[in-house]
Amino acid sequence: MKQLILSVFAFLIFLSFSCFAQKANYDSLVKAGINQIYNIKFADAEKTFQVLKREFPQHPASRFFFAMIDWWKIVLKNEEDEDLDDRFLSEIDNTIDFCDQILDKDPNNVDALFFKGGAIGFRGRMRVMRESWFKAADDGREALPIVDHAAELDPTNVDVKLGFGIYNYLAAVIPERYPIVKPIMIFFPSGNKELGLNQLKEAARVGKYSNYEAKYILVTFYYYFESDMNSAEIYARQLAGKFPDNPVFERWSGRIAVRKSEWTFADSVFKDVLNKAAKNYEGYNTPMVKREANYYIASYLNNQGKLDEALTYFKKCIDESKKIDSDEESGFQINATLYSGTILETKGNYNEAKKYYERVLDMREFKDSHDKAEDYLARIDKIESQQRK
């Protein structure tokens, strides 16, 4: 009997260590894959999640993270490019269907609830990107109770704060920014901006799998909605420091520096971006990335009075813009054209300057671009008229 008890005891110890090893292996695979995604090592991430799928075939995580890889490919390529949308949405639907199969048998399966809510949340983020506000709001309505249920079953799971934070913040902010959404928001739980920010901060601070995504969301919220560049900078610098070859994070650091008028730092960031583009780093050598980098470097040089160099970079910005400005001209192309004209005018090359101003007038109105172009053309006409006298 004693040997039997010892054998059973030993077996239980073995089981506990075995479960711990499986959980540890799961965690290590997920964390490795997430880091590979943010490091823009998509092929490595795909291999990691294939291992995860093979070792944990009944777990929804691998399916969710395959969708996350494509999400980041969309973000890197060009947020206006919809070529990968269908594949991403197919992977999201596959994740949701897989989670539903689990939940049909076990309605309280925390993992299935968590990843189903996360998948719906990511679908909502894509719909926000595509400005499909009603569908995005409906995704938020559907995901919130799912994630809430998961949180009730596992109160220690901080990662759910990412979903709660995004919803609470956007549900408070979006209706004010986009009044078209207001009528349908009466059917949804009300938002709370401060609560949402605090939940995102907690996920960023102690989330196991969501900390980097929470930081990324905080960067965008502080930049776009709060106009709080100091807070945005904190998280952007953390992300760029952790993932130095992620063009999204690196460009955010430069973009925020521009808003703070820290031009020397911004110039160094965007020159590094162009250097990596020249070396064909993944995600860097795209027109979207290069037009932005050229534009801000040109702006810095223009501010420094280095007009010839600035003009070169503005022209590069225009060339890159033309590759992707298919439906209408971007603000980058319009401003780069306008500033090229002012540089040429300053240098006394009035005929060339007028060509650039006239091009601006042929483009869509961006802020007060037409008024400026007309004023600058009138200024040149006045100068030339005086010269003829």
The candidate with the shortest Cα–Cα distance to 35, out of 184, 224, 245, is 245
The candidate with the shortest Cα–Cα distance to 80, out of 332, 353, 310, is 332
Radius of gyration over every alpha carbon of the chain, rounded to an integer in angstroms: 26
Q: What share of the chain is helix, strand, coil (3-state, %, to 5)?
A: 80, 0, 20
Within a domain: residue 344?
yes
- Give the pLDDT confidence score for residue 15 in this predicted structure: 33
Rounded Cα gap, residues 160 and 213, in angstroms: 12
Cβ-in-10-Å burial (0-12, 13-18, 19+) of 296 comes to buried
- Give the pLDDT confidence score for residue 389 in this predicted structure: 67
Rounded Cα gap, residues 139 and 131, in angstroms: 13
- Give the pLDDT confidence score for residue 143 in this predicted structure: 85
Q: Dump pLDDT digits (tens) for 16-64.
A: 333 444 566 888 999 999 999 999 999 999 999 999 999 999 999 999 9
Within a domain: residue 90?
no
CATH of the domain at 374: 1.25.40.10
Report the greatest alpha carbon distance in the chain. Answer: 118
Within a domain: residue 388?
yes
Rounded Cα gap, residues 138 and 386, in angstroms: 63
Rounded Cα gap, residues 251 and 272, in angstroms: 10
Within a domain: residue 125?
no
Residues of the chain with pLDDT under 50: 1-21
- Give the pLDDT confidence score for residue 133 in this predicted structure: 75
Instruction: Give the residue numbers spanning the domain of 339.
Output: 286-389
Structure tokens at 78: 């060009």
- Give the pLDDT confidence score for residue 79 in this predicted structure: 62
C-alpha to C-alpha distances, 120 to 78, 94, 141, nearest whole angstrom: 22, 11, 10
Within a domain: residue 203?
no
Three-state DSSP state, 282:
coil
Query: For 138, what's the count of Cα atoms within 13 Å in the CB-facing half-sphere?
Result: 5
The candidate with the shortest Cα–Cα distance to 92, out of 136, 114, 122, is 122
Q: What are phi and psi of 165, to 5 degrees?
A: -65, -45
Structure tokens at 17: 């260590």
Within a domain: residue 113?
no
- Give the pLDDT confidence score for residue 366 in this predicted structure: 95
Number of domain units in the chain: 1
Within a domain: residue 49?
no
Q: Confirm if 307 and 343 have CB atoms less than 8 A apart.
A: yes
Within a domain: residue 52?
no
